[in-house]
Structure 1
Amino acid sequence: MNDETRPRPRQLRLGALAAALTATFALLCCTGGAGAFFLTELGGDADERVTSTSLDCTEDFRVDIRGSMPRMSQYGERQLRNAARIIKVGQEMKVPPRGWVIAVATAMQESRLLNLANRTVAESGDLPNEGVGADHDSVGLFQQRASWGTVAQRMTPEYAARKFYEKLLKVPGWERRPLTRAAQAVQISAFPDAYAKHEEVASQIVNALAGGAARTVLVAGKQACDRAAGGEIAASGWTAPVPGGVGSGFRTTSRPGHNGVDIAAPKGTLIRVAATGRVLVARCDPDNRGRLSCNADGWPDKGGCGWFVDVLHAGGFITRYCHMVSKPRVSVGQTVKAGEVIGEVGSSGNSSGPHLHFEVHEDEDRSSRGAIDPVPFMRSRGAPLKGSE
């Protein structure tokens, strides 16, 4: 693939992913190279990176706020115990796990999961605290102001979490809103886009403390593990892009340069963006002869992705969707919500038949150096690719 930008050195990895899963199916021919492209608006802060875990989704999400806490870089026992308190209140109120992720991400932004006092309260010595915030009369995990309750109430983690959830549940369609918009509807912050960058780590914290709960989706009124597809969004904020099964896998022995997976699906099948993000690229990829020939079916060795889209997500991840049947439904710079339709399955570019070539890249790196195996990545988000296990 030709690209306008030069590759840059890769940034630090965001953490080890779940153990790789492999599958071998019938071959569908396509290619997926890329140049590098770096954007930071949706990326997480470097000092907030934690190690992903391969926790099974147990469907038993009880949280022990008094037990030992998992080890995560940059978040100590005290902070994770506060996160556990937030989750436990959500459980008691029967808030779905998506709400726990939103609440934890919000507290990460507002207080770094510390029960902060303002300077007046800290200097009075009347209430124990875990640090001093800097915003007027705001206190506690969510930096709530005086209208939310007394100082003592707002500095009680359980009270603060309950007030947050009460307001969240009143937000119309909160479960399907991008995390930052749901959080902002509650907090009314001066920095409304600041919450998005915490979604990835908040999901990992919820998984670690609550048995993989961020990998669940509501199915027939019950939380089900690893079932996010067809526009249904897991608590992590992810969904499978199309319902087909994985064909050609990631960097197989026979195709070491295959930087994604091929998902079989009939022509015209709707392609849904895997998570909320911002469109980086939406165009026709030139073939090996430099021609823009995406409006016709391709063939093996033609080269290129055909009509394709790249989307940047929280945590610095990028997803790529190749071989669309026609011009994508989205444009560069557009914000898209998880599950939103961005195009239809086709066979443009280097393709032997209709399918979606799907890639995941980390560290905001669109080049082949940033590509990782989509199969374990999507399963760890509760949105496994059908036929990939």
Structure 2
Amino acid sequence: MSGEPAVAAQVRRKLRVGVLATAVTVALALLCCVGGAGAFFLTELGGDQEDPKLAALDCDPAYRVNLTGDMPRFAEYGEAQLRNAAVIIKVGQDMKVPARGWVIALATAMQESALRNLANTTVPASLALPHEGVGADHDSLGLFQQRPGWGSVEQRMTPSYTARKFYQKMVKVPNWQQRPLTVVAQRVQVSAFPDAYAKHEELAGRIVDALAGGAARTVEIAGRAVCDAAAGARIAASGWTAPLPGGVVSGFRTAARRSHNGVDLAAGKRTPIHAASAGRVLVARCDPDRSGRRDCDRDGWPDKGGCGWFVDILHAGGFITRYCHMIERPRVTPGQAVEAGEVIGLSGSSGNSSGPHLHFEVHNSGDRSSRGAEDPLPFMRKRGAPLGKSE
């Protein structure tokens, strides 16, 4: 590669310094991946350029939620509901609960009460407690629809009290920051519909970001909230982590590879691959090559076709992540529940590949086809788990 110095110069302009070292290490591999038409070079990063709007989005771990100021606009909720959300976050801040807990608490209250402080038909009229509607359960009250064992009527109708009680029980759940939101919320609430919490996780993270200085992008490291550092065993408050620390060496649907529905991350053979978020395994198998053969237990080559050994995981909000070119059979099986950061396999070069790396895809709306694919770089950046972040 006589042109390597020029390539390296272009990479320096396009990648963060932390990503460069890893990317240059694999430059000579001339990787090739699913949807490509031959080996690619580091100049074909295309989709890795950061969206200016994302670059301008600040993440301030020290930001204190404002209970009295103007509320952000969300089509799903009005001002009163967002003020209740702000109360939930403030209580979490006062209790020094990591921001992941705020997301879990918000998603729970969104399911239980739609962020409304609900009364019920058993509340004596003489109490004249302020409320925002009447709930369906005969003895459940407030934002979290807590029953009599949680406190008096007056207490359960006080948003700050109910939020504190939720957090006190939540932090006792073992490994609560890594476990699926539905599991943690259910351990606290003991709901008849435990899976219902999942659909609120994505919006809960966006509300936390809007009200608390991008806090859903933070991760707790040595007791301190740090922005955009989620990788490996570290999980952002959004519930996401980078699948591995390698830099991006080929982007999403570049000019040279328009059918490249993901990004390629630098990785040597047998690098642990982590589930990007908690979810359920949809697929874990050997992808047939162009001839229809399932031949994944050896290195692949350009134009072989197929993902090699690969895994698809369904996450909250209908998102699907895909992990291709594993060196051996994945460590997970279809139907298995996985935690964020769990090792699901090891990187390799099986399938349509000419060098070890991880091909990583994100799909929305539960659509595993190319129609549902979106650029993983801005997707992961918004969730505090930017691809290529060094450990």
TM-score relative to the length of structure 1: 0.86
Deviation at 1:125, TM superposition (A): 6.9
Q: Is the 8 A contact 1:55 1:211 kept in 2?
A: no
Provide Cα deviations, 1:313-332, integer angstroms capped at 9, x if missing partner: 00110000000001111111
CA distance in 2, matches of 1:345, 1:202: 32
Provide Cα deviations, 1:54-112, integer angstroms capped at 9, x if missing partner: 73212232100111111111111111110000000111111110111111011001001
Q: 1:92 to 1:126 in 2, by over 3 A?
A: same
Counterpart residue type for residue 334 of structure 1: Q
Runs of 4+ in structure 1 off by over 4 angstroms are: 22-27, 122-125
CA distance in 2, matches of 1:166, 1:232: 23
CA distance in 1, matches of 2:67, 2:272: 43
CA distance in 2, matches of 1:53, 1:195: 31
**Of the candidates 235, 259, 279, which is equivalent to residue 261 of structure 2?**
259
Counterpart residue type for residue 120 of structure 2: N
CA distance in 1, matches of 2:172, 2:178: 13
- Unaligned 5+ runs, structure 1: 1-21, 34-51
Deviation at 1:124, TM superposition (A): 6.0
Equivalence for 1:14: none
Provide Cα deviations, 1:160-202, integer angstroms capped at 9, x if missing partner: 1111111112222222221111111111111222212211111
Q: Percent identity?
A: 72
CA distance in 2, matches of 1:220, 1:131: 42
Equivalence for 1:178: 180
**Of the candidates 342, 348, 351, which is equivalent to residue 349 of structure 1?**
351
Secondary structure, counterpart of 2:138 in structure 1: coil
Provide Cα deviations, 1:259-313, integer angstroms capped at 9, x if missing partner: 0000010100011110011111111111111111111100001111001010110
1:31 aligns with 2:26: no
Equivalence for 1:190: 192
Equivalence for 1:215: 217
Q: Is the 8 A contact 1:53 1:204 kept in 2?
A: no
Q: Is the 8 A contact 2:178 2:341 kept in 1?
A: no
Equivalence for 2:113: 111
* Number of corresponding residues: 349
Q: Is the 8 A contact 1:346 1:355 kept in 2?
A: yes
Secondary structure, counterpart of 1:214 in structure 2: helix
Equivalence for 1:149: 151
**Of the candidates 125, 133, 136, which is equivalent to residue 134 of structure 1?**
136
Provide Cα deviations, 1:110-165, integer angstroms capped at 9, x if missing partner: 00100001123286672121111111210000000111111111111011111111
Counterpart residue type for residue 329 of structure 1: R
Q: 1:160 to 1:235 in 2, by over 3 A?
A: same
Counterpart residue type for residue 350 of structure 1: N
Q: Is the 8 A contact 2:245 2:389 kept in 1?
A: no
Higher relative contact order (CA 8 A, sep 6+): 1
1:324-339 alignment runs, 5 A limit:
324-339=326-341
**Of the candidates 228, 244, 247, which is equivalent to residue 245 of structure 1?**
247
Q: 1:140 to 1:303 in 2, by over 3 A?
A: same
CA distance in 2, matches of 1:336, 1:171: 17
1:309-320 alignment runs, 5 A limit:
309-320=311-322
Provide Cα deviations, 1:184-222, integer angstroms capped at 9, x if missing partner: 111111122221221111111101100110111111221
Secondary structure, counterpart of 1:176 in structure 2: coil
Q: Is the 8 A contact 1:122 1:129 kept in 2?
A: no
Q: Is the 8 A contact 1:55 1:208 kept in 2?
A: no
1:279-294 alignment runs, 5 A limit:
279-294=281-296
CA distance in 2, matches of 1:65, 1:53: 27
Provide Cα deviations, 1:198-254, integer angstroms capped at 9, x if missing partner: 111111110110011011111122110000002211111000001111101111111
CA distance in 2, matches of 1:141, 1:53: 35
Secondary structure, counterpart of 1:312 in structure 2: strand
- Unaligned 5+ runs, structure 2: 1-13, 37-53
Q: 1:208 to 1:190 in 2, by over 3 A?
A: same
Deviation at 1:387, TM superposition (A): 5.9
CA distance in 1, matches of 2:148, 2:140: 7
Counterpart residue type for residue 360 of structure 2: F
Q: 1:387 to 1:150 in 2, by over 3 A?
A: closer
Q: Is the 8 A contact 1:32 1:357 kept in 2?
A: no
Counterpart residue type for residue 283 of structure 1: R
RMSD of aligned Cα (Å): 1.9
Equivalence for 1:379: 381
CA distance in 2, matches of 1:174, 1:387: 24
Q: Which one has a bigger Cα radius of gyration? A: 2
TM-score relative to the length of structure 2: 0.86
Q: Is the 8 A contact 2:111 2:197 kept in 1?
A: yes
**Of the candidates 100, 103, 114, which is equivalent to residue 102 of structure 2?**
100
CA distance in 2, matches of 1:365, 1:284: 20
Secondary structure, counterpart of 2:249 in structure 1: coil
Q: 1:138 to 1:54 in 2, by over 3 A?
A: farther
